[in-house]
Amino acid sequence: ASTDSSHAVYEKHKSDSRIRILKNDKNRGCGYTKRKCVENAKGDICGFVDADDIISSSALEKMIFQHNINLDHSIIYSTYYNCDQLLKPITVSDQVGQIEPTKYSWMNQHPMISHFATFKRAKYLQTSGITAWLQKAVDKDLYYKLEETGPVLFINEPLYYYRHHSHSISLNKNASLAYQFHLTIKAMIVLRAKERKLTLKIMPHSKAQLNGGMIIVGLSLLPTCYFLNGLGLLLKSLWFFNLQSLSYLPKLFMKYFSRRNQ
């Protein structure tokens, strides 16, 4: 449901049998749309390319080859080029790498799983799926859930071109709220864990930070079509997280809004 002319561009390619065009009744955000994409996928291997980025001409071939010889792996991913607005490569990311077999990527800041990430749809169907109300950090939600279904494999080659521009939903002025969505996703890892205390102990964020993220994201959802989800987050933050962590919120709000106004 984009407001620009992108749908007219898609229509030009609808005669190509490899391409299917789906459209939302209204703009429901990134999480809802990516969830619908996987639900409508017909292939065994899935991967997302965001609208402002591109992949290398050999990316699909290399990913399919690795999936065919690593049948139990849930995610196979590469590193990426950081690009300018014209998609000219500037640097290769130094943040992506192989996750240790005994760890999950959420346990450490680096290395992490990132673009270009492909996954087996059968593994995805073992999870609860992408959280539809997520507006940001959607990929992290996907990666963390898929890690619970099988090992992951890193291809040390930049197969993705990640464009940096002022309208990105996760960079620049949007970076602060994107980080709060990321904290909320990690809080959800704790909430669905069988051993919450142990998971919280190895989580690289305090209970107060996780709680603060849930509250900020919950408040941000209230004016949207995800009002009930926002209200649910607020109730969960009060029910599952110690009220002592609320003492962290004034500092967190000041930090968040100061970044947003920069």
The per-residue pLDDT for range 97-124, each reduced to its tens digit, is 999 998 999 998 889 999 999 999 999 9
Averaged pLDDT for residues 138-162? 96
pLDDT value, residue 82: 96
What single DSSP character describes residue 247?
G
Averaged pLDDT for residues 179-189? 95
Averaged pLDDT for residues 122-151? 96
Say which amino acid occupies 124: Y
Separation of alpha carbons 139 and 119, rounded Å: 12
pTM over 0.75: yes
Looking at the DSSP assignment, which residues form a beta bridge with residue 155?
78
pLDDT value, residue 242: 65
Give 222-240 pLDDT, tens digit per residue.
999 999 999 999 888 888 8
Separation of alpha carbons 132 and 113, rounded Å: 21
Looking at the DSSP assignment, which residues form a beta bridge with residue 154?
77
pLDDT at 260 over 90: no
